[in-house]
Amino acid sequence: MLSVLRTIWNVFLHMFQPRVTVQYPDERAYLAPRYRGRIILSRDPDGGERCVACYLCAVACPVDCIALQATEDKSGRRYPEFFRINFSRCIFCGLCEEACPTYAIQLTPDVEMGEYDRRKLVYEKEDLLIDGVGKYPGYNFWRVAGVEIGGKGKGQSEREERPTDIHSLMPRDPMPG
């Protein structure tokens, strides 16, 4: 009985507590930089596309909302011919971002992507690509990958040793150059 009265009194005292509601369109809640919102495709520091069209994001996606087609440019650099995310399916789980080997696909703290027309939720590559590096400044996949592409031969990547000459009988030159 006393607990009932105490409950009523405690609820009454809540009148003087600050309200927790964030009045959304007028005020906005803080979204952390690592918030999982709208998905973007980022670029290298020197402006090239980071995505190498490895399909890992499409494989990881539990709702199959990512579709892409790999192709190669003249220098041998892989990139997606098209890259399409159907945001009406996307559940913003972030698995694509975890799967991505090149930091290309990233989730951003933006949630305001409501549409009246469902088809407008299908984002193409030009909608997804941004002009920046996103959360990983300074990272350039092609700079560190040991892949031969136009203008960069074997052994010319950062922290990459020169390839072993398999026709030579000599041991590896401990001090190359």
> In this complex, which beta carbon is closest to another protein, that of residue 11 or of residue 29?
11
Q: Considering the complex, what minimum distance in angstroms separates the CB of residue 15 from another protein?
A: 6
Residues engaged in binding another protein (CB under 8 A): 4, 7-8, 10-12, 14-15, 17-21, 23
Rg (CA), the chain: 25
> In this complex, which beta carbon is closest to another protein, that of residue 6 or of residue 34?
6
Q: Considering the complex, what minimum distance in angstroms separates the CB of residue 124 from another protein?
A: 36
Q: Considering the complex, what minimum distance in angstroms separates the CB of residue 8 from another protein?
A: 5
- The set of long-range contacts for 115-120, using a CB threshold of 8 Å and a minimum separation of 24, is 118/88
Q: Considering the complex, what minimum distance in angstroms separates the CB of residue 17 from another protein?
A: 5
Q: Which are the contacts of 66, defined by CB distance < 8 A and separation ≥ 6?
A: 57, 58, 83, 84, 85, 86, 96
Q: Across the chain, which distance is largest between two alpha carbons, in Å?
A: 95
Two tokens, residue 50: 């980071």
> In this complex, which beta carbon is closest to another protein, that of residue 25 or of residue 177?
25
